[in-house]
Amino acid sequence: MSVVSNGFVVTYIEHLKNILNHILDSYQILDEIEDKPGDLSKIEKEMLKINGFIRVVSNKIDPDNIPASDFKILRIKFSQYLENYSFEAEIKTMASLYSDDMSRVKNMRLKILEALKSKHMIDDARELMDDL
């Protein structure tokens, strides 16, 4: 089974690997932010990227086209993450009130990272990426 991505025909597995790579790259960027003034916008940008890619995996990737059984488990974790965690409103509030308070910015970043690590979701994404 193939899909069109960036004008090219790729397999479902290649498409999934590309999306997982984007999620893991944004996670790494979030993990390495040093909590300086102006970082709240970087945190928001990477979090929105991650959420968007997780939505694509949850809504557009057919689990029957991915032979790895781990994918179905990860897809469930992605869906649960989207249902249980939303940081957009908090970040918008912080941006107007506390964007220069580095301890609050750091706490927000750590909360997002913690949510992504919950139930070993990021570790499972890395493992699946390696297995594909």
Task: Write the single-letter amino acid at 82.
Answer: L
Query: Closest by alpha carbon to 35, among 95, 108, 86, 94?
Result: 108
pTM (2 d.p.)? 0.87
Number of structural domains (the chain) is: 1
Residue with tokens 């997780």: 54
* CATH number of the CATH domain containing 21: 1.20.120
Q: How far apart are the first and last CA of the chain?
A: 15
Residue-level pLDDT at 4: 53
Q: What is the pLDDT of residue 2?
A: 53
State the pLDDT at residue 6.
Answer: 53
Per-residue model confidence as pLDDT tens for the chain (132 residues): 455 555 545 687 888 999 999 999 999 999 999 988 889 999 999 999 999 999 999 988 888 888 777 888 999 999 999 999 999 999 998 888 888 899 999 999 999 999 999 999 999 999 999 988
**Residue 58 near residue 78, CB atoms below 8 Å:** yes
Q: What is the pLDDT of residue 81?
A: 96
Range of the domain at 99: 2-131
